[in-house]
Chains A and B, each alone.
Chain A
Amino acid sequence: MKLNRKLLSTLILAAAGLAVSPAHADNLRIATEGAYAPFNFIDASGKPQGFDVDVALALCEKMQTECEIVAQDWDGIIPGLQSRRYDAIIASMSITEERQRVVAFSDPYYSNVLAFIGPKGQEMSVEPEALKGKTLGAQRATIAGQYLEDKLGKVVTVKLYDTQDNAYLDLAAGRLDGMVSDKFPAYDWLNSEAGQKFEFKGADVDINDKIGIAVRKQDDALRERLNKAIGEIVSDGTYQKINEKYFPFPIY
């Protein structure tokens, strides 16, 4: 048994030694999701695009680093960071206490609000009493999903989807009475052809939701560099240009 333990700890140390890479490596790998338009989506040529990607590239330019943007499914995006498949996540990720237990976040690069969406031309109150018995959807592992489960889970049927796109599909198919989603990407969908029959319902839900860049807890140097770069793109107007490219209102 003793021998086993020694062997195990040696192996673990060896593995840890191999895994430690310099935080200042000049080649930065950044993960985004690719199913969250207009913040991140995959374009016709298969490359990630969107607000997050533009911000990522602007930050890399400020940090004078070569960057590679990789697409990664939302479910596995934090585990992928922990297993060092990439060094940062710029994928419209909300800064939450639960996530802060496993990763560290940069300063926020935009603020998110939630909104209810329902069919046009139908009265839809977003008060819990009025929603009783309805079926509402949201994306799994998101703030909207948690809001639904925590605040309305007792009165409505909650359906959680792997991607936002699948939730939209089911809303359009009539399987959902409504959905809760982050407001800005939903704004984009409502402007698309598929979203023509739907609109925002009720008031925005301000959940004090700040969006940040996730890095591994021990990568403090990288986090500092990212914070500095965020400050720089906001003050020199680069950020504003990216913002205007996607939304007619400021989202910082």
Chain B
Amino acid sequence: MSELIVMLSEWLQTLAGGAEPWTAYARYLPRILEGVGLTLELIVFSGVVGLVIALPIALMRITHNPWLWMPAYGYIFFFRGTPLLVQIFLVYYGLSQFEGLRDTGWLWTEVLSQPYWCAIIAFSLNTAAYSAELLRGAILAVPRGEIEAARSLGLPRATQYRKIILPRAFGIILPAYGNEVILMLKGSALASTITLLDLMGATRNVIARTYMNMEFFLLAGFLYLLMAAILIGLFRVAEHFINAHRRVPRRKAVGLKC
């Protein structure tokens, strides 16, 4: 095993043209880790905002009123059907083309002129579309009997949603939503195209200085993998608690053998 590691590091060194990649790692690691911080911030922030937007969109989508479901359908259609990169560029470079917008004061100076907020806006709108569609499916998948039970208890419609349907729906979307968060983690690398120094942006800046493509992209890939692993773990834990009813009761299962 140690022989393998030595070989790998020798190979890395020849790739770097004789330079020692580990000194470069040591030198630039702080910058890269700052990038990891920004990436996490971006996905957590836009994940939360995205969910908040997704809920009303999903509710609009399942009504039968065309004035409600059609805009929701259009929104989901647009954000699911266009590349995230196009959406980021539309928000960042597109909106700034309108001279009028640049005179709106606060909205421009504090929000739309900042790449950070542009990224949050684009990611939130994008993930909201996917989450709304997940949520719609989940709401429709809540067992009919539970809704009927709530109704027969005389619960008002709003309470039915708040106490019965939505909590069930969140449990149902959880595995699929974890998937969406992982996709967003990987999509967040596009933030580097609008000057943000997320993990990808920091990595590209370091490569621009060192020309160690292989070494630093490998490092970035490893860090993305690590973040994905942690997120997957967190969703497992959340599933364990929220979907407690689906846990297999172990002792009973053994007993059923006979």
Contacts and interface: CB of A to CB of B under 8 A. Distances in A.
A161 B195 contact: yes
Given A160-B195, A174-B102, A101 B211 contact: yes
Contacts of B3: 1
B64 interface: no
Nearest to A8: B7
A173 B193 contact: no
B211 A169 contact: no
A160 B201 CA distance: 9
A100 B145 CA distance: 72
A44 B79 CA distance: 30
Contacts of B113: 173-175
Interface in A97-117: 98-99, 101-102
A207 interface: no
Interface of A: 1, 5, 8, 75, 78-79, 98-99, 101-102, 137, 140-141, 145-146, 159-162, 166, 169-170, 173-175
B93 A5 contact: no
Contacts of A99: 211
B82 interface: no
A98 B195 contact: no
B17 interface: yes
Given A75-B208, A173-B96, A101 B102 contact: no
B195 A169 contact: no
Given A1-B3, A98-B210, A173-B97, 13 more contacts: A1-B4, A5-B7, A98-B209, A101-B211, A102-B17, A140-B205, A140-B208, A159-B195, A160-B195, A160-B208, A162-B193, A169-B93, A175-B113
A102 B7 contact: no
Contacts of B13: none
A141 B203 CA distance: 12
A173 B115 CA distance: 12
